[in-house]
A and B are shown apart, each in its own frame.
Chain A
Amino acid sequence: MSIVLDVQDIKTYFHTEYGLVKAADGISFQVNQGEIIGIVGESGCGKSVSILSVMQLIQTPGEIVDGKVMFDGQDLLRYTANGAEMRAIRGSKMTMIFQEPMTSLNPVLTICRQVTESLELHLDMDRQAARERSIELLKGVGVPDAERRVDDYPHQFSGGMRQRVMIAMALSCNPRIIFADEPTTAVDVTTQAQLLELMKDLVTRQNTSLVIVTHNLGVVARYAQRIYVMYAGRIIESGLSDDIFNHPRHPYTVGLLNSVPRLGERHGTRKLIPIYGLPPNLINMPPTCAFLARCTEKVEKCSKEPWPALRAVGDQHYISCYVDIKGK
């Protein structure tokens, strides 16, 4: 299995009027060929910023201050954000599905135009060929009556259908990696499942890698092979899906799993334990662990030493914590 994407120590800061926000503070992750990985965390933990940084879609006042994005043997961060090299990769080899299907499609352009523009740009198709290909793509993602609906506008589609269009657009140029930023958050539960199955089928068939960014543990549990857990701009635990879910080692991950109900669990067999407190404000963060204030496992060292780096606690299992919870 070869590594498709190797993100090393990305730091993306936002210069806001309240001060410097370290939205992503040293994020590293790897994605293998054909693999589905999950990045989980509460909202505002910097998970979206991390993947937007990889694609260099960060807008002012945000700035990628440091890091490397190794893709196909090249460091993408050495290219200017909107230069020709970056544009050739974005939308063809590396694509993205956004969260809001309602606003992520241009309201004044037909679906056809929005799907064909990538095809024309990256695959040099002419109008007619691109149109036929988009109809095929729409059929592939399960848009009924695609020949006719291809000329409709986004507002004539339901939320789930729009997200199918987004998936079709993301797949159109046979990318090597797809980022899905909360792809199912804005659609209802039955549609969520359909969309996820669809994405899984499609990427498996094309041997494309998929990075799902979500706050929904159920999504990653079911689909991701490896999981990165983020908190306050950093990755605090990573490992194989099974390890994270069944043998979590970081107090935050443990707390997270204890606070949500699991499907198929009998009533009353396990008491849900919420994590008390709120995620920290990302401005003027202390050098110590950001989870300290909410942590139930803290030791004396935690409030004296800086936030520890990730350390291996098992095969492919890493945590950034002085405490190592085993067997819980």
Chain B
Amino acid sequence: MADNLEPTPQPADAIGAAVAPPRRSEWRRFARVFFGRKLYLIGFIIVVIIILTAIFAPLIAPYDPLVTDLYATKQGPSSEHWLGTDQIGRDVLSRIIYGTQISLIIGFSAVFASAIVGMLLGLVAAHFGGWVFAVIMRIMDALMALPGIILVLLIAGLAGGGIGVVIFALGFGAIPGQCRMMCGLALSVKQNDYVLAGRAMGMSNWRIMLTQIFPNAFPPLMVGITMGIGGVVLGEAGLSFLGIGVMPPTPSWGGMVNDGQRYLLQNPLLSIAPGIAIMLLVFGFNMVGDGIRDAVDPKLRGVL
């Protein structure tokens, strides 16, 4: 009964038709999926605008975000101050524009720091397995057991506020997520035939990890990092809202929401506008993350 026309069993694919993709560069296909859906495109545009805003903040902002004007406090929107002024007469729009810098700096540094540490731990856990895996995963469980914001609150509360502490606290809180993801990815890649083939050819464990597991786990990791930024920015906003994050007078969106809370009746924009900025940023990065995921993960492609 060896009369098989094909060497391997055909996958139980509903389509069953050999849809070999036409020869197009991977990048063009990626771009087509990524920019093919409106939400992702909107997210991408938002992210680009936010990054440009952060870089060119001094050029865009109409006022110095730190300069107070006690003759013009708690003003509503006007042609001079589009979003009005806060309780000590600072221009809200300028503060939001400069706040972009703080959010992005904290977002990127915390996510990259946590990604590096988390990835290494995840790789090590997946690679060695056994008790190393058990110990690392239980520690991650313990970190996961503390709601992100609570752990961060504890660290930031103990160590005092400031950008450095906020980055450390948020990065620390984001480690288990990155670690688990990397570990899961590495474990699944490890099962693949090409890794087994590498092993059969006598490649060393570390070499397999670096040359085979990492490149294959890289695209999903990019998704994780992009999505992580939204979470960290929300965390930073939360800490600053509670008053233990970025210290005044540095403009931080979360802090602005908190400051504005007391003057809701005079100028609700004081609280509402920075909140919308937070949402735009988080939405943008989440959508870009979703888009990358759809574009790189063939399993999800076509689902919608």
Contacts and interface: CB of A to CB of B under 8 A. Distances in A.
A and B touch in the complex (CB under 8 A): yes
Interface of A: 14, 16-19, 21, 23, 40-44, 46-49, 52, 58-59, 61-62, 98-100, 103-104, 182, 185-186, 189, 192-193, 215-219, 221, 233, 256, 259-263, 279, 281-283
Contacts of A61: 302
B10 A49 contact: no
Contact of B14 (A16, A52, A182): A52
Given A21-B17, A98-B12, A217 B3 contact: yes
A282 B301 CA distance: 19
Interface of B: 1-6, 9-10, 12, 14-22, 32-33, 301-302
A283 B6 CA distance: 22
A176 B16 CA distance: 25
A239 B271 CA distance: 79
B1 A192 contact: yes
Nearest to A48: B16
B15 A14 contact: yes
Interface of B is mostly: loop
A256 B1 contact: no
Contacts, number: 100
Nearest to A222: B1
A262 B3 CA distance: 7
Nearest to A19: B22
Contact of B5 (A17, A42, A98, A221): A42
Nearest to B304: A60
Contact of B19 (A18, A98, A185): A18
Contact of A46 (B5, B16, B20): B16
Contacts of A279: 18
Given A216-B4, A218-B3, A282 B14 contact: no
A21 B19 contact: yes
A186 B9 contact: yes
A318 B122 CA distance: 60
B188 to A, nearest CB: 17
Nearest to A60: B302
B277 to A, nearest CB: 35
Contacts of B5: 40-43, 215-217, 256, 259-260
